[in-house]
Chain A
Amino acid sequence: MPLQIILNIIIAVMWMFLSESYTFPSLLTGFIIGALLLFMLRRFIPANFYLYRVWKIIKLLLLFVKELLISNIDIVKWVYKPKQTYYPGIFAYPTELKSSWEILLLTSLISLTPGTLSVAVSDNNKIIYIHAMDIESDETSIKEIKETFEKAIMEVTR
């Protein structure tokens, strides 16, 4: 992926030299042309076309904002209920993610999504312990959400 970005920038600079106008619009034109060239030559480049990954990152961000809004609606519900109707608890969630920054991303996302908060990561980085606000009603649904996150993160990194 870094190789592709550098190639794209080099093509953009080349375009600036060729057209002999050293302005931002001409750099942008060169960048778009470079992206098109890389897209057409994607069979010869190692790894996927990099703008595809950028698109995945944008999708992850949108998913994240959606979950943040839902989680806050949940908090409002819990705060305003006169009696405590939820049962908090800690459950273990086995994760397939390997590198530490993927796990950092996943724990941060968990902390900002509905009803869950990451408490600890086990020593071998295989299990994340999650504190859930209402563990009885929706442990399965919570796990489903986590799996969508995990899938989205994997699509970005691999």
Chain B
Amino acid sequence: MTIGGTIEFIAAFLVLAGAIMALISAIGIIRFPDVYTRSHAGTKSSTLAVLLTLLGAFIHIAAEQGFYSVRLLLGIVFVFLTAPVAGHVIIRAAYRAQVKMSDTTVEDELKQEVERMKKNAEADRNERGEIINEEQKEEKEQQQ
């Protein structure tokens, strides 16, 4: 096998592996029981899928046309920076909206913390739901 052929094979293999990872990610999103476990498949596998596909495209274009597309590399960097943050924000919003976890879930240490925060937030508000300042807070406590 020539060097060009080997490079072409590597590029094709990377793109194929990326496509397979994307498929697995999609199957995972269908098969997993709740939003939290689905988010696992959504963030990790699709990030790797995008990484492999873009890397394969980069190698292919560099070998075929001798053009080094830095934009593809930048695309990889940006996906890496944004995908975990997006996953975090979505799962956090889901938790705050009290989306139920699957029945097999065994442990939840965040529950107490959220309840405590809710209590604090209620203490900071008056009957109409407006945020109150320190003096008003003391007044409210005295009333109680």
Contact = CB atoms under 8 A, between A and B. Distances in A.
Interface of A: 68-69, 71-72, 75-76, 78-79, 84, 86-92, 104, 107-109, 111-112, 115, 117-120, 122-123, 127, 129, 131, 133, 135-136
B3 to A, nearest CB: 25
B31 interface: yes
Given A68-B44, A107-B88, 12 more contacts: A71-B44, A72-B45, A75-B25, A75-B44, A87-B104, A88-B101, A117-B43, A119-B91, A129-B110, A131-B36, A133-B37, A136-B106
A72 B33 contact: no
B113 to A, nearest CB: 6
B25, B31, B40, B102 — most chain A CB neighbours (10 Å): B40
B107 interface: yes
Contacts of A68: 44, 47-48
B30 to A, nearest CB: 9
A115 B40 contact: yes
B92 interface: yes
Contacts, number: 107
A122 B107 CA distance: 18
Interface of B: 21, 24-25, 27-28, 31-34, 36-37, 39-41, 43-45, 47-48, 80-81, 83-85, 87-88, 91-92, 95, 101-102, 104-110, 113, 117
Contacts of A118: 84, 88
B92 A119 contact: yes
Contact of A111 (B27, B43, B95): B43
13 contacts: A75-B41, A78-B32, A89-B107, A90-B108, A90-B110, A107-B84, A112-B44, A112-B84, A117-B40, A117-B88, A120-B95, A131-B91, A135-B106
